[in-house]
């Protein structure tokens, strides 16, 4: 039986970023030749890309606090779906979701005004997987320390919400941070910066799994 592993992506930070340890299923004997090109995806210890595989679309629940931003959330998800040419997400409303989420067999999008982690983190996406298949993902937005804008910032410190969400949905799909600036998976989003258009690198990475 495969064990369940957790990967926390501390996403879009003011300074620096850390990632969890990736682990994988099976034995060295059975999976010695399982390594794949990473294609920008999280990998387990055997070098297999971690993704949802055929478990699509991913049903994601929007927490009550995130509902005012539902249209932007859906539009950000659609960016990835258009690139993949298939339905990746099934986004629904759920009033009783908590602020923080956690492993509860539901994929949540949380708007957290009670953020207790480092204020440097603009958002955190957590992946839970068994073998090389994601079984749950939770996206939590730090609304305690950050103010977001949709079209035009009100303050010089405002963050572009669509750019943040597109990045986070990339993590939900299994993508990790990239060191190339021209990608939505670049780990730093500065105030007033828009990074809401997928590049060729993003599209190529997506096609490795979807």
- The residue ranges of every structural domain in the chain are 4-207
pLDDT computed for residue 2 by the predictor: 36
Q: What is the pTM of this model?
A: 0.86
CATH class label, 4-207: alpha beta
Token reading at 88? 């990746």
Q: Report the mean per-residue pLDDT for the chain.
A: 85
How, if at all, do strands 148-149 and 159-160 pair? parallel
pLDDT computed for residue 156 by the predictor: 93
pLDDT computed for residue 175 by the predictor: 97
Low-confidence ranges of the chain (pLDDT < 50): 1-6, 10, 12-24, 28-29
pLDDT computed for residue 5 by the predictor: 47
pLDDT computed for residue 118 by the predictor: 93
Collect all residues with Cβ–Cβ distance below 8 Å to 133 and sequence separation of at least 6: 50, 51, 52, 53, 55
pLDDT computed for residue 120 by the predictor: 93
């Amino acid at each position: 039986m495969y064990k369940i592993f957790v990967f926390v992506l501390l996403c879009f930070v003011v300074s620096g970023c850390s990632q969890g340890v990736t682990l994988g299923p099976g034995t060295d004997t059975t999976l010695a030749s399982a390594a794949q090109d990473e294609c920008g995806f999280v990998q387990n210890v055997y070098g297999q890309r971690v993704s949802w595989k055929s478990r699509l679309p991913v049903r994601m629940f929007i927490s009550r606090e995130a509902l005012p931003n539902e249209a932007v959330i859906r539009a950000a998800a659609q960016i990835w779906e258009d690139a993949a040419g298939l339905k990746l997400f099934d986004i629904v409303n759920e009033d009783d979701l908590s602020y923080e989420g956690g492993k509860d067999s539901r994929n949540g999008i949380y708007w957290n005004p009670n953020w207790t982690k480092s204020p440097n983190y603009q958002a955190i996406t957590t992946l839970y997987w068994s073998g090389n298949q994601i079984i749950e993902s939770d996206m939590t937005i730090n609304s305690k320390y950050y103010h977001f804008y949709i079209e035009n910032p009100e303050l010089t410190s405002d963050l572009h919400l669509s750019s943040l969400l597109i990045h986070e949905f990339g993590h939900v799909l299994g993508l990790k941070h990239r060191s190339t600036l021209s990608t939505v998976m670049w780990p730093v989003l500065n105030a007033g910066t828009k990074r809401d258009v997928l590049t060729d690198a993003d599209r190529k990475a997506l096609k490795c799994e979807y």
